[in-house]
Amino acid sequence: AQKVTQAQTEISVVEKEDVTLDCVYETRDTTYYLFWYKQPPSGELVFLIRRNSFDEQNEISGRYSWNFQKSTSSFNFTITASQVVDSAVYFCALSEARNNDMRFGAGTRLTVKP
């Protein structure tokens, strides 16, 4: 079965700092999908990005960017110029194309201090 590891349990930064959240995955499938979700203090789970295994192109969306590297089985998430509103728990997840069970990592709690 697939596995997602988010080694950073908690990260604390000061506003305007850049921060990178790490995600390492394991799968035996050649076709798979990677995701990032945000869970703010209010508790809902908000979808941020989906990447398929054939698309290693990095993506940037405003202050958010994602670096997908198959060679190291990593899908890292960087927030540039962090803001207090970025404080949340961030989850990385993976699903394999042959089934559809999306498995989550343990999450990284990001605290951005003013």
- Residues 111 and 114: their CA atoms lie apart, in Å, by 10
Applying CB under 8 A, the residues found at the interface with another protein are: 31, 33, 35, 37, 43-45, 47, 50, 52, 91, 95-107
Measured from the CB atom, is 42 or 114 closer to another protein?
42
- Give kind and range of the element (H or E) at residue 60: strand 59-61
Q: Which two tokens stand for residue 69?
A: 């590297």
Measured from the CB atom, is 70 or 98 closer to another protein?
98
Measured from the CB atom, is 36 or 82 closer to another protein?
36
Of 21, 42, 23, 29, the closest CA to residue 1 belongs to: 29
Nearest distance in Å: CB 66, another protein: 14
